[in-house]
Structure 1
Amino acid sequence: MKILRYIALAIGCLIWIVGLSPTILPWLWKVQVVEDGYQYGDLYKLSTLSEFRDPRHQCAGYVPPARPHSAKKVHLYIIGDSFTEHGRVEKKDFPVDDYTWVKWSEFLHIKLDTTEHNILLMESVERHFRQKFASSAITVLVPDTATFEQKGASTKFMHRLDEAFKGSHTADRLDGFLFQNDFALRIKEWKSDFNQKFFNRAGSGVTLVNYDRDIVYYMDTDTPEVTSSFTPVRETELDSMITHLNASRDFAESLGFDNVLFTIIPNKTSVLSPDYGVYNNLIERVYNHPKLNVPYIDVLPDFRRMGRSSYMKGDSHWTCEGQTVWLNKINALINQLVAGPAS
Structure 2
Amino acid sequence: MKIFLKYLLLFVGSLLWVVGCVPTFRKTAFEWGLTKDSYRYGDLYRLSNLPQFKEEQLPCNNTPRFDSPTNSTALYIIGDSFTEHQRVGKQDFNVGAYTRIHWNETETIQLDTSRRNILVLQTVERHFREHFAAEVRNFTFGPKQPKESGFSFENWVAEVYQSFEETLKESEESLTSFLFSSDIFLTLKEWKAYINLQWFGRHNDQVALSPDKTQLLFVWDTDSSRITSSFKYLPDNELKTLIQQVNKTREYYKSLGFDEVYLSIIPNKTSIVAPSLGTYNHLIERVQRDTLLQTPFIDVWAPYTQQPTTIYSLSDTHWSCTGRAIWLEKVNGAISAL
TM-score by length of 1: 0.90
Residues 113 and 280 of structure 1: is their aligned pair in 2 closer, same or farther, counting only changes over 3 Å?
same
Matched-pair contact (CA < 8 Å) for 1:64–1:94:
no
Q: Is it true that 1:102 corresponds to 2:114 in the alignment? A: no
- The whole-number CA distance in structure 2 between the counterparts of 1:148 and 1:320 is 39
Partner of 1:133: 132
Match in the other structure for 1:46: 47
Pairs within 5 Å for 1:321-340: 321-337=322-338
Partner of 2:317: 316
Shift of 1:10: 4.2
Cα contact 1:312–1:318 (8 A) shared by 2: yes
**Cα drift, residue 302 of structure 1:** 1.1
**Alpha-carbon distance in 2 for matches of 1:99, 1:32:** 32
What is the letter of the counterpart of residue 107 of structure 2? L
User: Hey, what's the Cα distance between the residues in 2 that align with 1:148 and 1:234?
Assistant: 46
Shift of the alpha carbon at 1:37?
A: 0.7
| 2:220 maps to amino acid | M
Name stretches of at least 5 consecutive residues in structure 1 with no aligned partner: 150-154, 338-343
Q: Tell me what 2:257 maps to.
A: 256
Structure 1 residues 291 and 27: CA distance shift in structure 2, 3 A:
farther
Q: Identity of aligned pairs, percent?
A: 39
Given that 1:49 and 1:189 are in contact with CA atoms closer than 8 Å, whether structure 2 keeps it comes out as yes
Matched, 1:225 2:226: yes
Report the equivalent of 1:15.
16
Equivalent in the alignment of 1:285: 286
Deviation digits for residues 152-171 of structure 1, max 9, x if unmatched? xxx644233222233xx111
Query: Residue 79 of structure 1 aligns with which residue?
Result: 78
Instruction: Determine the C-alpha separation between the residues in 1 that align with 2:40 and 2:222.
Output: 24
Moved more, 308-317 or 33-42: 33-42
Alignment check: 8 A CA contact 1:137 1:247 kept: yes
Query: SS at 2:286's partner residue?
Result: helix
> Which residue of 163, 166, 177 corresponds with 2:166?
163
Counterpart of 2:161, as a letter, is M
- Is contact 1:221–1:269 with CA below 8 Å preserved after alignment? yes
CA distance in 1, matches of 2:336, 2:33: 38
Among 122, 139, 142, the residue aligned to 1:144: 142
Say if 2:213 is the partner of 1:212.
Answer: yes
CA separation in 2, counterparts of 1:334 and 1:312? 27
**Equivalents in 1 of 2:40, 2:96: separation in Å?**
32
Q: Could you tell me how far apart the structure 1 residues matched to 2:146 and 2:104 are?
A: 15
| C-alpha distance 47-25 of structure 1, shift in aligned 2 (>3 A) | same
Cα distance in 2 for residues equivalent to 1:307 and 1:59: 19
> Shift of the alpha carbon at 1:8?
4.1
Contact in 2 for aligned 1:108/1:140 (Cα 8 Å): yes
Instruction: Work out the CA distance in 2 between the residues paired with 1:75 and 1:128.
Output: 26
Deviations 1:304-338 (A, max 9, x none): 2112111110111111011111111111111111x
Deviation sequence 1:260-296 (CA, Å, 0-9, x none):
1110000000000111111000000001110111111
Count of residues paired in the alignment: 327
2:172 is the counterpart of 1:174: no
Corresponding position of 1:114 = 113
Partners of 1:47 and 1:157 lie apart in 2 by 35
Q: TM-score normalised to the size of structure 2?
A: 0.91
1:46–1:205: 8 Å Cα contact kept in structure 2?
yes
Distance in 2, matches of 1:83 and 1:64, equals 21
Q: Decide whether the 8 Å contact of 1:64 with 1:328 is kept in 2.
A: no
Task: Please say if 1:93 is aligned against 2:92.
Answer: yes
Distance 2:337 2:145 in 1: 27
1:217 offset after TM fit, Å?
Answer: 0.5
The 1:37/1:304 distance shift into structure 2, 3 A limit, reads: same
User: Residue 32 and residue 80 in structure 1: after superposition, are their counterparts in 2 closer, same or farther (change >3 A)?
Assistant: farther
Report the 3-state secondary structure (helix = DSSP H, G, I; strand = E; otherwise coil) of the residue aligned with 1:275: helix
In structure 2, how many angstroms separate the alpha carbons of the residues matched to 1:50 and 1:161? 36
CA distance in 2, matches of 1:103, 1:14: 33
2:42/2:56 contact within 8 Å kept: yes
| Counterpart secondary structure, 1:297 | coil
SS in 2 for 1:23: helix
RMSD value, Cα:
2.1
Equivalent residue, structure 1, for 2:36: 35
Specify the alignment match of 2:200 in structure 1: 199
Q: Secondary structure at the match of 2:251?
A: helix
**In structure 2, what is the equivalent of residue 123 of structure 1?**
122
Say if 1:19 and 1:171, in contact at 8 Å, map to a contact too: no
Q: What is the SS of the residue equivalent to 2:262? A: strand
Q: Deviations over 1:123-148 (max 9, x none)?
A: 000000111112x1102112222389
Q: Aligned-pair distance for 1:257?
A: 0.6
CA distance in 2, matches of 1:147, 1:210: 53
CA distance in 1, matches of 2:125, 2:259: 26
